[in-house]
Amino acid sequence: MEAKKQIAFVEYFENEWLNSHNTWYENIQHFTPSTNDGLESFNKIIKDEDTYRERIPLSRFRIITFETVKQWSSQYKHKLKQYIQTPSITLDIWTKGYQWAKSDKSVISMNHGYTVEYYAPADDEFKISNNDIDTINTMKWNTFDQYRKRAFNVWYIKMQNDPTNWMKGICNCPAFFKCYVCKHVAGVSIRLKFCKPPPAAKDIPIGHKRKRG
């Protein structure tokens, strides 16, 4: 009975969330905040600037909500507030990107004219095979353990051939999903001479991490 329930759930999940509604996962739309991150950022603003962290009746909160939305609309309309179009790169990311660029990791590239795909080994590996790339592109795994081992074995970086747009590069690593920039995008761009890291990024010896603070 338990086995039948598991099979039924897998069939339901595949039909409903892989075949019918397959755009539900994190980072389906690049360079846009995830729902949770977006709500949390606005939640802090509402508490700090509008309700002042007071517990107020629902009727009063409704009035404040309409006033807040009207105020935000006016601020964005008159450029008093602006949407961030490109991610900011911290010194820590620059440092990690520079060290990654200077490492001995072998990167396989595939040119598609306007864009180029780069495949790089993850963790402590230095080389990957065409079979590893094929596994990532075709998503060849039948169990969760296979997914855990194979899906994070190769990092996929996609860049435009235009050096001025290197910050629009994307990667499939977890760090990119959070910040929309990562050491792999920065590292590939450094190798291609699309950008130059700040001098401070080179202060840390290769193989060492920058201390927090």
Is residue 169 assigned to a domain?
yes
User: What is the pLDDT at residue 128?
Assistant: 92
Please check whether residues 114 and 154 belong to one and the same domain: yes
Report if residue 20 sits inside a domain: no
In terms of domains, do 195 and 121 share one?
A: yes
Residues 106, 196 share a domain: yes
Structurally, how many domains does the chain consist of?
2
- Cα 206 from Cα 27, distance rounded (Å): 31
Entry pTM: 0.75
211 in a structural domain: no
Is residue 10 a part of any domain in this protein?
no
pLDDT at position 33 is 67
Q: Same structural domain for residues 67 and 117?
A: no
pLDDT of residue 87: 84
* pLDDT the model gives residue 59: 93
pLDDT reported for residue 36: 65
49, 139: one domain = no
Query: What local confidence, expressed as pLDDT, does residue 201 receive?
Result: 94
Asked if 187 contacts 171 with a C-beta cutoff of 8 angstroms, the reply is: no
Residue 213 forms part of a structural domain = no
Which of 23, 43, 77 is the last residue in one of the domains?
Answer: 77
Residue 132 falls within a domain, yes or no? yes
CB 119 within 8 A of CB 136: yes
Ranges of the chain with pLDDT below 70: 1, 25-27, 33-38, 213
Are 114 and 48 part of one and the same domain?
A: no
Residue 144: per-residue pLDDT:
87
DSSP assignment of 111-165, as one string? E-SSEEEEEEE-TT-----HHHHHHHHHT--SSHHHHHHHTTSEEEEEEES-GGG
Domain that holds residue 168: 91-202
